[in-house]
């Protein structure tokens, strides 16, 4: 695997080694030993999500003590994956980072605690896998408006995104972080 740093502290892009032949391919997507040794990450919850084109999910996070670090990988299709640094003492607080993740590229993103996360499906459909280092707790789940003008995120959407009712009603970053 090739680990690439970003301009955001602890936010990593990982390119996986693919072993391919005429039968198909094999990819090691998770090694508890490496992730725990290098990042102190231990997966306690895994999710698989399928979404159709133009579905936008986000920007989600959880408050302490249920904050979550995430390993996000696309199995099929492609998404624009976006994170926003919500760590108040961070030099990149309020800044966003985006990357296209695809089942074809076999890359994934490691998102440390303290980031809001969201994505928009670019292909006809996408299947994603999440590994999380903490359980989900609805009472501590929060979000930030995907279209907050201060974030200036280009979601690369033709037309209106498909949103859940919850995601339509998230506050701006300023309001959300004032409540933390």
For the annotated catalytic residues, the residue numbers are 60, 130
HSE, CB side, 13 Å, CA atoms: give it for residue 133: 20
Q: Are 38 and 87 in contact (CB under 8 A)?
A: no
The candidate with the shortest Cα–Cα distance to 130, out of 90, 176, 91, 75, is 75
Q: What is the largest CA-CA distance in the chain?
A: 55
Q: Any alpha helices (H) in the chain, and if so which ranges?
A: 32-39, 165-168, 173-178
Radius of gyration (Cα) for the chain, nearest Å?
A: 16
Say whether 111 sits in a helix, a strand or coil: strand
């Amino acid at each position: 695997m090739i680990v690439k740093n970003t301009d955001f502290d602890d936010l990593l892009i990982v390119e996986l080694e693919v072993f391919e032949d005429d039968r198909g391919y094999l990819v090691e997507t998770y090694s508890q030993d490496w992730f725990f040794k290098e990042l102190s990450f231990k997966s306690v919850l895994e999710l698989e999500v399928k979404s159709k084109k133009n579905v936008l999910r986000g920007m989600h996070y959880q408050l302490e003590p249920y904050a979550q670090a995430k390993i996000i990988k696309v199995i099929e299709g492609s998404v624009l994956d976006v994170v926003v640094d919500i760590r108040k003492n961070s030099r990149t607080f309020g800044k966003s980072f985006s990357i296209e993740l695809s089942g074809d590229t076999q890359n994934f993103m490691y998102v440390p605690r303290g980031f809001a996360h969201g994505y928009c499906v670019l292909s006809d459909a996408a299947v994603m896998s999440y590994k999380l280092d903490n359980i989900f707790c609805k009472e501590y789940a929060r979000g930030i408006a995907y279209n907050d003008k201060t974030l200036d995120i280009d979601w690369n959407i033709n037309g209106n995104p498909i949103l859940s009712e919850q995601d339509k009603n998230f506050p701006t970053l300023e309001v959300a972080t004032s409540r933390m």
